[in-house]
Copies of this chain bind each other. A is one copy, B any other.
Amino acid sequence: MKKLINNVEDVVAESLEGFLMANRRTHQQVAGVNGLVVNDINKKKVSVITGGGSGHEPVFIGLTGEGMADGAALGSVFASPDPHTILEVIKGANTDEGVLCLVINYAGDTMNFGVASELAELEGINVATALVTDDVASAPKGQEEERRGIAGLLLVTKVTGAAAQEGYTLTETKQVAEKANENIRSLSVALTPCSLPGSKANFTIEEDAYEFGMGIHGEPGIQKKKLQAADKIVEEMVTVIADDLELQEADEVVVLVNGTGATSLLELNIVHRQVGKLMENKGVVIYDSIIGSHCTSLEMAGVSISMLRLDAELKRLYNAPAYTPYFYKRGEQT
């Protein structure tokens, strides 16, 4: 796969540079590493940071901004950032109230954030971590903590960022992230693979097949299936999600229909249409929907569906204003 890049090794640093040139009014680099923080860190509130491998843009840079995350540590494509990078971002975002790390549950990410947190604590920083484990495909019910994190990170960051903004303590902020994580499920499918800059595609997906249960790193899914009409694929996905989340009539959810790269919005809207129909049949209320390519796997064609079940607290936090370069919420929804 051809790409608009210069040198493979410089991809992340150059991309960050290009991003910051466009967003200098709101964002700044953390010196010496591939990381960034928002300008004017508010020392009186908990900072929320996130991070992980690159190649998922707008995640993670696009999660940073008012009412969302305060910083992000960026690894190489599909590789967690190293502990030094994470530590510097923690330091750059640190406040009197401490730093909460929102981490998607992949071995590389948890290990590197783990080492970085230890180092941060040695420097006297008050740091905590909340894991995102929204992908129902990646481990059976009962082993939720084994599951990997995918696009649901956007919604977890939304409510967690809002909680920090409202003045929640570090412990409370972590608790709300965990609560959001307990109430969110996602599932992802892919129609085409992707290729790392400088590599060929890892594997092929036949013209009449798709991969069910993808992570966000272009790994094969848990199962290969025969391609069907969008409505059928979506029905399978939604059934798994709704069952696992044990959705009940009158439950309220936020839906995220997320493109994984090469999926056109034309298609994402068609996916959302079917999600809406299925939820209506179940009597589940879609409080709000986000449709777009927020958490991608380079140029992979595919879609993930996430559902976050709301309670009063999560709804209030979801509704709070948020402004990042790739996501906004005006906070006036009624």
Contact = CB atoms under 8 A, between A and B. Distances in A.
A53 to B, nearest CB: 11
Copy number of this protein in the oligomer?
A: 2
Contacts of A298: 264, 266
Interface string A308-334: 000000000000000101101010010
A18 interface: yes
A328 B207 CA distance: 38
Contacts of A289: 21-22
Contacts of A58: 265
A271 B17 CA distance: 10
A273 interface: yes
Contact of A227 (B2, B15, B267): B2
A5 interface: yes
Which of A264, A267, A289 gathers the greatest number of chain B CB atoms within 10 Å? A264
A128 interface: no
Which of A54, A55, A229, A299 gathers the greatest number of chain B CB atoms within 10 Å? A299
A63 B272 CA distance: 19
A4 B261 CA distance: 13
A330 B192 CA distance: 37
A263 B299 contact: yes
Given A2-B207, A266-B298, 5 more contacts: A5-B270, A6-B270, A14-B273, A261-B262, A264-B299
